[in-house]
Amino acid sequence: MNGLILALIAALLYGILEAEKKRATDYFDVKIIFWGLVTLAAPVFGVLLCAQGIPHIDHRFWLVVAIDTPLLIFSNILFIKAEKISPISTTLPLLSFTPVFLIPTSFFLLGELPQPIGIVGIFLVVFGAVVLKGEDLRKRFRHPVSSILKEPGARYILLVALIWSFNANFSKLGIEFSSIWFYLFVSHLLEAVFMNIWLSISYRQELKSVVHNHLSVLVSASVTNILAVFFFMAAIQQTLVSYVITLKRVGFMLGGLVLGILVFKEKNVVYRIGGVVLMLAGVICILFFH
């Protein structure tokens, strides 16, 4: 199957996944949702790794994993929390700041610098964030930073975007030091082990109640997560990573916007659509030309 088609399927699945996770917050705490996602994903990635075979492992791989895994655990829990307290069509587009943050973090970790067109992408992303919400637009132009940061979910998402910019660089290093499937299996396994130990010790009753509390919602999100990651990785193997990541961001943002309107009946979305378009243009400039 063509790599771009696989990427489009992954983007659609990621958009659906964000809506499913937001729905799951009606029944489960954020830590339970994250526990379900990583616990079900780890054995699946283990099977895929067995099919591929164990690669040669550089000793630096374990240092990367030791730094990357705690950041992934923290950022994913914070991400789900942000979706719970703020409109999904507002929070998801702010993930466009990830490639913006990638400029300094990639320079620091990988020695990469953007082309001039990447600067244009930065301004498009920031401008899109300013007009993302239509309420009191003039005030947003006068005080763009405070307008965005006054919403807790937006602050959380911006922090997640910053952390994910580091994760992206660590992931690249981790894959270079091993392989895609080995890195995914080890990172998810460590996350699953940590979450199971933590919840078993501190939240045992909550963990036991999962079976009797809309378990199908959590399983559905977990299956979607596994499929999304599977198609994402399959696409990466067949086409340019920049195309796949861009389409993944489209799935996050446009999927979140559409589902936020149709499923969650969120209001005031006219100016958000314009903001999403501007932010997408900035992401494309950075990812395709950077």
* Token pair 């399983």: residue: 219
* Residue 202 CB contacts under 8 Å (≥ 6 apart), including other chains: none
Q: Determine the Cα–Cα distance for residues 42 and 35; give it in Å rounded to an integer.
A: 11
Q: Determine the Cα–Cα distance for residues 172 and 177; give it in Å rounded to an integer.
A: 9
* Token pair 């099977």: residue: 47
In this prediction, residue 251 carries a pLDDT of: 65
- On whether the CB atoms of residues 37 and 30 are closer than 8 A, the answer is no
Q: Determine the Cα–Cα distance for residues 280 and 131; give it in Å rounded to an integer.
A: 13
The stretches of the chain forming alpha helices (DSSP H) are 3-24, 30-52, 60-85, 88-91, 97-110, 116-130, 137-142, 144-149, 152-176, 180-202, 204-209, 215-238, 241-262, 270-284
Give the C-alpha distances (Å, rounded to integers) separating 83 from 22, 182, 195, 268: 6, 30, 20, 17
| Residues belonging to the chain | 290
Q: Determine the Cα–Cα distance for residues 290 and 118; give it in Å rounded to an integer.
A: 6
**Mean pLDDT in order along the chain per 10 residues (290 residues):** 74 82 80 87 90 87 90 82 69 71 79 71 68 51 59 81 84 82 89 88 78 79 88 70 62 64 62 72 68
Q: Determine the Cα–Cα distance for residues 141 and 127; give it in Å rounded to an integer.
A: 9
Count the Cβ atoms, other than its own, within 10 Å of residue 154: 23
Amino acid making up residue 110? L
Amino acid making up residue 253? M
In this prediction, residue 224 carries a pLDDT of: 92
* Residue 62 CB contacts under 8 Å (≥ 6 apart), including other chains: none
Q: Determine the Cα–Cα distance for residues 125 and 97; give it in Å rounded to an integer.
A: 7
Q: Using DSSP, state whether 125 is helix, strand or coil.
A: helix
The predicted model scores a pTM of 0.73
- On whether the CB atoms of residues 273 and 128 are closer than 8 A, the answer is no
Q: Determine the Cα–Cα distance for residues 226 and 6; give it in Å rounded to an integer.
A: 14
- On whether the CB atoms of residues 260 and 18 are closer than 8 A, the answer is no
| Nearest Cα residue to 246 out of 200, 197, 285 | 285
Angle, helices 60-85 vs 3-24, to 10°: value is: 50
Using the 8-state DSSP alphabet, how is residue 217 labeled? H
In this prediction, residue 63 carries a pLDDT of: 92
| Domain limits, the chain | 3-112+152-252
